[in-house]
Chains A and B, each alone.
Chain A
Amino acid sequence: MAETTTETMVLNMGPQHPSTHGVLRLIVEVDGETIVRCQPDIGFLHTGIEKQFETHTWQQAVTDSDRMDYLSPLTNNLGYVLAVERLMGIEVPPRCQAIRVLFCELSRIASHLVWLGTSALELGAQSVFFYCFQAREAILDMYEATAGVRMNLSYMRVGGLMYDIPPQLPAMVARFLEELPRWISDFRALLDGNPIFRERVQGVGVLTKERALAFGVTGPSLRASGVPWDVRKAYPYSGYEKYSFDVPTSTAGDVWARYEVRMAEMEESGKIVRQAIEGMPEGAWKTDDRKVALPPREELHRSMEALIHHFKLVAQGFPVPAGAVYQAVESPRGELGFYVVSDGGTHPHRVRVRPPSFYNTSVLTRLLEGCLLADAVAIIASMDMVMGEVDR
């Protein structure tokens, strides 16, 4: 009788694969249906964004930050401008802070909607995808009304914002907030009671607290493993301490727990959006420091000084005092950090980004070990990585 030999098989998944959320490549070693080893291969979207920051002026570089985590561009904007503002010691007016919070939370909801739609799609629930994108369009409409584009807004500026919010925005937000609970309960109706969905996510891909901390996992994935860490609470920025909201957590650490946490987070973000729009302070929406923010248009016609400031800001940009600062914000994926170094010039000397997705991806090596190949799709989706941010 021939001797039976057992050997494992190496499979390639990605970078063009419908469920790797972009261009992630996984080299998976399988024994039958079980994954023995998994090695992520990243860099297929390496864009040199960190280097690109250095070639732009401080203000122009805001556009580079959008293009890393394109599902929540405004959080990236905020992290970067806060870092530069801290270096320069600028305080922005309360209205500007509230608008920033408003848009960050809207983009958190939009980002979670994409996550929900695509991860349901990957598990075979197609209709959820369409409902999620429908809901997301409502947020994109608000973006468009405010900044003129649907994605990659670059709406924030060092020292303020691009424009004030348009007059129709409060009504749009109110309508959105009215619809949101109904949408969320629709999604839950489609998924929670669906035995196929439950079977595929419950008890799958358990991430223990210790492992999550060891790998530097942050955001909803960490909170689903029982660590209530949220930068908005731990180191409040942009006036987050003024808003009352909960940080949803779970202890199970499986795909289901991550689903639950993100669903609850959408509701919490809805609360923050409501507080922000209802308590929106009147007044200026950018700093009146003429060395940083452009003077209002009317002033240009009568003030020579304003004209000079305008010219200098546009032609040359503003210098930032030498120094280094680390500023973290809570992006929909976790702690997004900007380490910004200035040499006193008009361009950043170095910008290093701590992208939450990078750490959330690295844990896949351990998370996928021992699970079924078919479950890999659910687990990858539940970590909600954006490759633009991993590779930069």
Chain B
Amino acid sequence: MAVSNDGTPFILTTVEQMVRWGQKNSIWPLTMGLACCAIEMMSLVTARFDSARFGAEVFRASPRQADLMIVSGRVCHKMVPVIKQLYEQMPEPKWVMSMGSCACSGGVFNNYAVVQGVDNVLPVDIYVPGCPPTPEQVLEAILRLRDGIAAGDPKAGLPFIQAASIGEAGRG
């Protein structure tokens, strides 16, 4: 922070950095509980883990207000079309976290009913293995997403905002 001649403090930054600063501090997850992992996902917002410290506590029930899809648990074939539709309904920029061994690779369920990894159907940004992963692990993943956004994750930042406002790339 610098100070101008008349004593008013001011900050110099680029618009790009400011946008990224805003994006990284408001990663709102989608309320989508699938299986056991969803209970640990719920624990994330409670007093002990308090994801509000990182601006990620606002679970949104509508995909149109969400930035992060936490695929919390096993993805079964009947659920795939639903998950795909939810993903498409989320506005960009959006991220997908694959939470739990089941979502990452099918976990213990190597059988006819479970998709062997949600990355077969969605582009996954970050994997959190564990059965279920502890809320600390999920927080760590959110922190890494934040670091990525600050450090130039191509999904985030200004180019997207411009594209959205001029209606480029069919996003407008």
Contact = CB atoms under 8 A, between A and B. Distances in A.
Kindly name the residue among B33, B34, B108, B132 whose own CB sees the greatest number of chain A CB atoms within 10 A: B108
B79 A45 contact: yes
B85 to A, nearest CB: 9
Interface in A41-74: 43-49, 51-52, 55, 63-64, 67, 70-71
Contacts of B33: 22-23
A373 interface: no
Interface string A371-392: 0000000000000000110010
A250 B134 CA distance: 38
A134 B35 contact: no
Contacts of B131: 152
B111 interface: yes
B111 A51 contact: yes
B39 A18 contact: no
Contact of B47 (A23, A133, A151): A133
A43 B77 CA distance: 9
Interface string B12-56: 000000000000000000111111101110110011100000000
A191 to B, nearest CB: 18
B78 A46 contact: yes
B46 A45 contact: no
B76 to A, nearest CB: 5
Contacts of B114: 47-48
B74 A45 contact: yes
Interface in A183-219: none
Nearest to B46: A133
B143 interface: no
Given A15-B79, A46-B78, A47-B113, A114 B31 contact: no
Contact of A151 (B46, B74, B132): B132
A152 B131 CA distance: 8
A16 interface: yes
B47 A134 contact: yes
Interface residues of B, number: 34
Interface string B134-146: 1000000000000
Nearest to A73: B36
A233 interface: no
A18 B35 contact: no
B34 A23 contact: yes
A150 B40 contact: yes
B2 interface: no
A130 B46 contact: yes
B46 A48 contact: no
A305 interface: no
Contact of B35 (A45, A51, A133): A45
Interface in A16-47: 16-18, 22-23, 43-47
B42 A151 contact: no
Contacts of B134: 150
Given A70-B35, A150-B40, A47 B86 contact: no
Interface in B56-106: 59, 61, 63, 73-74, 76, 78-79, 82, 86
Contacts of B10: none
A133 B39 CA distance: 10
Contacts of A151: 36, 39-40, 132
A52 B109 contact: yes
B76 A47 contact: yes
B111 to A, nearest CB: 4
A245 B47 CA distance: 33
A63 B108 CA distance: 9
A67 B46 contact: no
A51 B112 contact: yes
Interface of A: 15-18, 22-23, 43-49, 51-52, 55, 63-64, 67, 70-71, 114, 118, 129-130, 133-134, 137, 150-152, 387-388, 391
30 contacts: A15-B79, A16-B30, A16-B31, A17-B61, A22-B38, A43-B76, A44-B76, A44-B82, A45-B79, A46-B78, A46-B113, A47-B76, A47-B114, A49-B109, A51-B112, A52-B111, A55-B111, A63-B108, A70-B36, A114-B39, A129-B46, A130-B46, A130-B47, A133-B48, A137-B46, A150-B132, A151-B36, A151-B39, A152-B36, A391-B76
Given A48-B109, A134-B47, A151-B36, 10 more contacts: A17-B61, A22-B34, A44-B76, A47-B35, A47-B114, A48-B113, A129-B46, A134-B48, A152-B132, A391-B76
